[in-house]
Structure 1
Amino acid sequence: MGIKLINTDMLKNNRLAWVDYTRGIAIILVLYRHIFEGISRTGLPTAEYSYLEHANIIFYSFRMPLFFILSGIFIGKSLAKRPVGKLIANKFSILLYPYFVWSILQVTLQLVLSKYVNADRHAADYAYILFFPRRIDQFWYLYALFNVTVLYMLTREKLKLGIWQQLLLGAGMYLVSSYVTQKSIDLGFVYDILHYYIFFALGDLLSARILDQGNFSRFASWKTFLLLLPVFVAGQFYFLTKNLEVNDNLYVEAWQPVLFAVIAVSGCAFMACIAFLLQRYNALRMLRVVGFHSLYIYVSHVLVASAVRLVLMKGLGVTNVPVLLVICLAAAIIIPIMIYNIAMHYGAWWLYSLEKPAGNGKTLAVQNA
């Protein structure tokens, strides 16, 4: 049999389609930002395309909270299936292990190819992997999700904190993250724990209702869509105009944390509504495939997009910003999926997890938790 470069088998099982749709939307927004900023660092006149920069600012307002809320939704189900110790080991395998593998690989390649890439790397940067993950491009998210998940499990199962206590703890941590940002205090990986714990806890709070299939018709209704639409538009309009006004893309998040949380959560709710509508009509099925592969896209998309951009600019002389953005975005979605499926075909599952895949050994399941 040949290699399945784009595996669609996951569409046939009992996975929750709306989860894959939501992850698909979120990962595309993540790629957009990273690729656009990579193009900006080349010195090309991205400022001439203000609509692209405006989209970049808007997408930033909810995409990462969305990932943490999604993970929080499934933490209760995961703990019902496995004890804390085994679940931590699982999270190490599927989150922290690929974080180390791919961040070390990326830093190494950036050092070796320093003449050709726009990342300024030094050998000392390897220490950032442990302490200052945000300085290693996109990888901080995996480290943060592992840390937040483990801390949440321990406080829930060992300290017996209830959901409202978790939300109160998360709110306090969230406000501290805003304070240290305002004071320009770099806490490294600790900042991400403080900042995103509240969104993970919110996911846990919503889990019973959002996983109840009896509510799916309500979430997938056009009435819900129309109710959320003006809230979403108003929040994104304010987020964009305020950040442009002060010339700081992080102003609202850092200096107006409560308002940012409202904007982020409303954005997440609107994206979830769109995902439920897509599930209802079984539309844009390839977006489900993208969502299923979101982790595998995430770990390698910067390497892929950088390589494609280099070929386009240096080899083919392409300098049009929108053209570069579209081609690199498409490549950063498709090629990582192909790499993943080739790796699974040849037994290189260890690139993505410490756990050998079950069954035919060709695919790793993306866990909802």
Structure 2
Amino acid sequence: MVLTETKPAAPRMTWMDLVRGGAILLVVFWHAASVPDQLLDGAEPGYYVRKLNAALGPFRIPTLLVLSGLLVERSLAKGTWRYVTGKVRHVAWPYAVWLTIIFATMGWLSSLTQVKVWLSGGILWYMVALLFCYAAAMLRPRWMPWLLFAALPLAVLWLVEPGIPILDRYLWYGAFFFFGAAVGPHLATIQTRMPVWAAALLALITLGGGYIVAKRLLVSQTPEYLPVSLAGILFVLWLAPRIPRWPLTRLLEWYGRNSIVMYVGHAFASYATVRVLDVTGTENMPYVIPLMMITTFGVPTLLVLARRRIEWLFVFPELRRSRPAARAPRHVSVTTP
């Protein structure tokens, strides 16, 4: 008998689920207010909702990208085949499925024949940004530090100034992904050895920066905007492991573990709600924003609860090669003379 030693599975980083859950809910909150404002006449969110969403702008998507970047080295270590197929199954597939569903809901299916639509992603652009980041990560020379690699898209954005909205967006947000990869080796130091005064300074920059952004004194994708986002993200990385696991935080962790479902599900819910309001002629009613809040949070939550039955909508089924059946031993007949 041969005994094989198996390594215990690494404990799940619940703090990362917590941060991802909080960030994805902020994205849901943003779209619940902004989608009807963009697509419906007169459906404007209140003053404080607009200001709050503006103040949170530097932190929502950048935080999600930094979290993904923190794990990219681990993903690359699995080998090129597993790395590529994993991103196709978990990112490209749900993106294609749900972009098709959303465009079908809105009556825009003919637009899917245009390459530009797939590259821009519409409301699902974050998933396209992720795919570009994962592809670029494979091309990084091993001798190049991640921090320098993170500076490259910003250099192109600010020095070359492409002026192409889609490209500008991916250059800007891609920098956060690679910043996350650069932070990865130093994460334990940030979370355990950062002095309280340094964390307090980061918190002060975060609050002050958010307030300035809400006042529209800072514009996204500019050098002055970057420190605000980075300060907020570093502060959250320091704070998250220190938050007790209360029922509320466990709920956020649950949303974080199902962030892909929340992301595509809320996008569908927001557009489907707008479509219903438009068809029924009720787009100017005073309850539009509250209704949007209910549907954009409620529908994806129901999808998470039903996820096991509809998993193929969010992850492409893994194709496993069937092992050949073991050959039966030959029966040797022994005859006696």
1:332 aligns with 2:319: no
For residues 171-182 of structure 1, the aligned pairs below 5 Å read 171-178=151-158
| Post-superposition offset of 1:103 | 0.6
Change (3 A) 1:357 1:30: farther
Q: Which residue of 2 aligns with 1:319?
A: 285
Specify the structure having the higher radius of gyration (Cα).
2
Change (3 A) 1:341 1:23: same
Output one character per residue of 1:227-256: Cα deviation in whole Å (capped at 9) or x when no partner: 43211111112222234xxxxxxx6224xx
8 Å contact from structure 1 (residues 301, 332) kept in 2: yes
Q: Which residue of 2 aligns with 1:234?
A: 208
8 Å contact from structure 1 (residues 349, 356) kept in 2: no
Q: Decide which of 57, 60, 71 is 1:60's aligned counterpart.
A: 57
8 Å contact from structure 1 (residues 31, 332) kept in 2: yes
8 Å contact from structure 2 (residues 30, 53) kept in 1: yes
Q: Decide which of 154, 158, 164 is 1:185's aligned counterpart.
A: 164
Q: Which residue of 2 aligns with 1:284?
A: 249
Q: For the residues of structure 2 that align with 1:301 and 1:140, how far apart are their CA atoms?
A: 14
Q: For the residues of structure 2 that align with 1:324 and 1:225, how far apart are their CA atoms?
A: 40
8 Å contact from structure 1 (residues 68, 199) kept in 2: yes
Q: Decide which of 210, 215, 219 is 1:252's aligned counterpart.
A: 219
What is the RMSD computed on CA atoms of the aligned residues?
Answer: 3.2
Change (3 A) 1:223 1:24: farther
8 Å contact from structure 1 (residues 18, 279) kept in 2: no
Output one character per residue of 1:169-215: Cα deviation in whole Å (capped at 9) or x when no partner: 432322323467x67434x3x444422332122111211232x3x86
Q: Which residue of 2 aligns with 1:107?
A: 103
Q: For the residues of structure 1 that align with 2:105 and 2:75, how far apart are their CA atoms?
A: 36
Output one character per residue of 1:257-276: Cα deviation in whole Å (capped at 9) or x when no partner: 22211111112223334433
Partner secondary structure for residue 219 of structure 2: helix
Output one character per residue of 1:10-62: Cα deviation in whole Å (capped at 9) or x when no partner: xxx94211111111111111112211112213222627x22111112112112
Q: For the residues of structure 2 that align with 1:284 and 1:177, how far apart are their CA atoms?
A: 37
1:145 aligns with 2:141: no
Q: Which residue of 2 aligns with 1:50?
A: 47
| Post-superposition offset of 1:292 | 1.2
1:162 aligns with 2:139: no
| Post-superposition offset of 1:351 | 0.9
Change (3 A) 1:335 1:170: same
Q: TM-score, normalised by structure 2?
A: 0.79
Q: Which residue of 2 aligns with 1:5?
A: none
> Please, which moves more after superposition, 50-59 or 331-340?
331-340
Unaligned runs of 5+ in 2: 1-9, 321-337
1:46 partner letter:
E
Change (3 A) 1:308 1:274: farther
Q: For the residues of structure 2 that align with 1:357 and 1:283, how far apart are their CA atoms?
A: 37
Q: Decide which of 76, 82, 87 is 2:83's aligned counterpart.
A: 87
8 Å contact from structure 2 (residues 106, 275) kept in 1: no
Change (3 A) 1:319 1:267: farther
8 Å contact from structure 1 (residues 170, 194) kept in 2: no
8 Å contact from structure 2 (residues 124, 267) kept in 1: no
Partner secondary structure for residue 225 of structure 2: helix
| Post-superposition offset of 1:327 | 4.5
Q: For the residues of structure 2 that align with 1:169 and 1:207, how far apart are their CA atoms?
A: 14
| Post-superposition offset of 1:148 | 0.7
Q: Which residue of 2 aligns with 1:302?
A: 267
Change (3 A) 1:312 1:78: same
8 Å contact from structure 1 (residues 170, 198) kept in 2: yes
Q: For the residues of structure 2 that align with 1:309 and 1:107, how far apart are their CA atoms?
A: 13
2:132 partner letter:
N
1:39 partner letter:
P
Q: Among the aligned pairs, what percent are the same residue?
A: 21
8 Å contact from structure 2 (residues 274, 283) kept in 1: no
Q: Decide which of 9, 17, 32 is 1:20's aligned counterpart.
A: 17
| Post-superposition offset of 1:312 | 7.5
1:185 partner letter:
I
8 Å contact from structure 1 (residues 148, 196) kept in 2: no
